[in-house]
């Protein structure tokens, strides 16, 4: 799949990787977009969940993706930055990934979104910003101009990221946090809910507070 750049990828049925609450919310949002048709949810941990249905749709075991790879695209509905494991296994089975932007979001035509990104309702991605692969942007996020966000990062509801900011791979940016302009956040770091980040953050740490301070080091991806 080529990366998203200022337009929607259309034309194929869709499966959602994940079977829990975020998967249901993502399905609800995608159901408002006629260019997509979700046909199944995909489970990779508990085979018993394949006996369930979600919103009237089947739950299939992950190995079924080998059969679906020629006809469907996938989007991952795990908020954890460790979703990379699920995604990479799906890729090994032949899956390609959609990049999906809710119609109420505003993404600049000069922004670039990588494969597998999801931009939720009421979010803004400004000019010359680059999102890596499989970045998850939750509801009501504001991302300024010339921002770079690495693969598998998760940006939670109400985050405000100022321009010229760099956020590393697998970062978790907590709800309603604020990141000032020209700040760099190292890969694998966690910004707690409501924090205000005023200076650079090293890799693999957790920061909290106003202004944000390091409270934990050697943090594993959330």
Place of tokens 């590393």: 168
Quick check: 185 and 167 in contact, CB under 8 A?
Answer: yes
Cα angle 27, 38, 139; round to 5: 25
Answer yes or no: 102 catalytic: no
Catalytic annotation, pick one of 20, 134, 145, 146: 134
Instruction: Catalogue the active-site residues.
Output: 134
């Amino acid at each position: 799949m080529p990366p998203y750049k200022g337009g929607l990828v259309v034309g194929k049925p869709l499966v959602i990787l994940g079977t829990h609450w975020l998967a249901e919310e993502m399905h609800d949002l995608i159901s408002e977009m006629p260019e997509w048709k979700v046909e199944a949810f995909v489970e990779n941990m508990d085979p018993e969940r394949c006996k369930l249905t979600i919103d009237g749709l089947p739950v299939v075991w992950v190995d079924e993706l080998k059969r679906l790879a020629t006809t469907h695209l996938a989007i991952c509905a795990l908020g954890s930055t460790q979703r990379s494991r699920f995604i990479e296994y799906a890729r090994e089975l032949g899956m390609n990934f959609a990049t999906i932007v809710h119609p109420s979001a505003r993404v600049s035509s000069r922004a670039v979104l990588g494969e597998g990104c999801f931009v939720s309702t009421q979010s803004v991605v400004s000019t010359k910003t680059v999102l890596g692969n499989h970045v998850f942007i939750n509801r009501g996020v504001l991302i300024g101009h010339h921002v770079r966000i690495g693969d598998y990062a998760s940006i939670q509801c109400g985050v405000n990221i100022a321009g010229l900011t760099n956020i590393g791979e697998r970062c978790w940016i907590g709800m309603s946090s604020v990141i000032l302009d020209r700040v760099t956040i190292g890969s694998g770091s966690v910004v707690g809910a409501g924090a205000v980040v005023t200076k650079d953050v090293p890799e693999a740490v957790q920061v909290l507070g106003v202004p944000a301070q390091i409270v934990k080091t050697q943090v594993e991806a959330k």
